Every structure is written in structure tokens, then in C-alpha cells.
Amino acid sequence: MKETKSDRTKKFILKQVAPIFNKKGYVGTALSDMERATGLTKGAIYGNFGSKDQLASACFEYNLRLLQRGVYKAVSTKGGSYAQLTALLEFYEQHYDEVAAMGGCPLLNTSTESDDTIPSLHKKVQQRITNWKNELNAIVRSGQANGTVQPTLDVERFSTTFIAMIEGGIMLAKAMEDKKYFHHAITSIDRMIEDELKIK
């Protein structure tokens, strides 16, 4: 299907505005920020997205896709559960500076802000966390099925701990302005993979 002018305008708005939402948040992002970043009027911006809520939701998805694109590429180039999980850790550690520069993890940022205030965004966060957990579950269970991962491993616990340590590491490193905190989290996950997944 041929891309329309409206499609191009929406892509332009998202590219310019999504980083602002990730850094300043839903409440902190003013219309003037969006107008300044895009050179467009309120009517042109909201005419393409309907409302600030809908634009914020689209920006969340846009920011998350930027991060996930690299994650999926890293995983797809590796074979086997252990290699895929190790590739994930390598990707996160190698790209921490980029994530920090864009304002931090969009999943973490949006979760913190939307938890009790923006139900529609909070629901999206829950869906994305569930998707991430399910993807990790699938990687680990694939290893269990082919005999390369400990069959007694609690997959749900492993996956939720993996996510909690990644997000917690980013939060601490951003708060303390020192990525050693994230490195500590990565090191701990790597040890967890080595100790709990691999069949000795």
C-alpha cells in the first residue's frame, strides 16, 4: 500500500515528539514542546492523532520499537537458549549509553508515570511486560525441550527476575548517573544464567 501524506506526517511527528515524551513524561510534555519540535500547530498535531492521550500511546510504542528492534536482531543472530540470553545481556550492556541518552527505558519510564494516573498507558505497559516475559519463557523452554537447560528450572521466576534486574539496573544507573549500577545487574543476571540454566 502506498504511503499517504498523512502517514508521512504521523511518522514525522512521532520521530520528533517521542523522545520528548520519554524524557519529560506525559505530564511534563507541553503542547509548546511538541510545536517547537515539529514546527506544526496544535491542530496539525492533534489532527493526526486525535488527542494527547493517543499521541502519548503512539510515542510509547515508537520508543519501545526502537529498543526492541536491536534486541530482536541480537537474539536472532544466536542459536540456542544460553547463547540467546547471553546475546540479550551483551546488547543491553553495549547500548546502555544510548538508552540513557534517550531518557531511559520507555517501559520503565511509562510504567512509573502511568501506574495510578493513565489507565490506557498502564494497560499497554502491562501488555508489553507480559510479552517480554513470554518471549523469555519461550527461549528457556526451548532449551528445556532440547535438553540444554535444567529441566527443573522455574521458568516464570527466572523470566520475571531477569526483567526486574534489567529495569532495576537501568533505574539505579540513571538515578545515580553511574552505569556501574547497571553493570552490576548484568553481571548478576549472567551469573544466574550460568548457575541456574546450564546443565553441569
How much helix, strand and coil, in percent to the nearest 5, is found in the chain? 80, 0, 20
Q: How many C-beta neighbours within 10 Å does residue 111 have?
A: 18
Please return the burial class of 120, using the count of CB atoms within 10 Å of its CB with bins 0-12, 13-18 and 19+. Answer: exposed
Give the per-residue pLDDT at 72: 79
Give all domains of the chain, ordered by start, each with its CATH number.
59-197 (1.10.357.10)
CB 150 within 8 A of CB 198: yes
Please give the DSSP secondary-structure letter assigned to residue 2: P
Q: Mean pLDDT in each 10-residue stretch from start to end of the chain (200 residues)? A: 83 94 91 94 90 91 85 77 90 90 90 84 93 93 94 96 96 95 96 89
C-alpha atoms less than 13 angstroms from C-alpha of 147 in its C-beta half-sphere: 0
- Per-residue pLDDT, 1: 65
Q: Give the three-state DSSP class for 153.
A: coil
3-state secondary structure of 4: coil
**CB-based contacts of 53: which residues, under 8 Å, 6+ apart?**
118, 120, 121
Q: For residue 149, report the phi and psi dihedrals to the nearest 5 degrees.
A: -125, 145
Tell me what pLDDT residue 2 has: 75
Q: Give the pLDDT of residue 3.
A: 78
The span from the CA of 137 to the CA of 142, in Å, is 8
| CA angle in degrees (0–180, nearest 5) for 111-114-118 | 150
Taking the C-alpha atoms of residue 52 and residue 105, their distance in angstroms, rounded to an integer, is 21
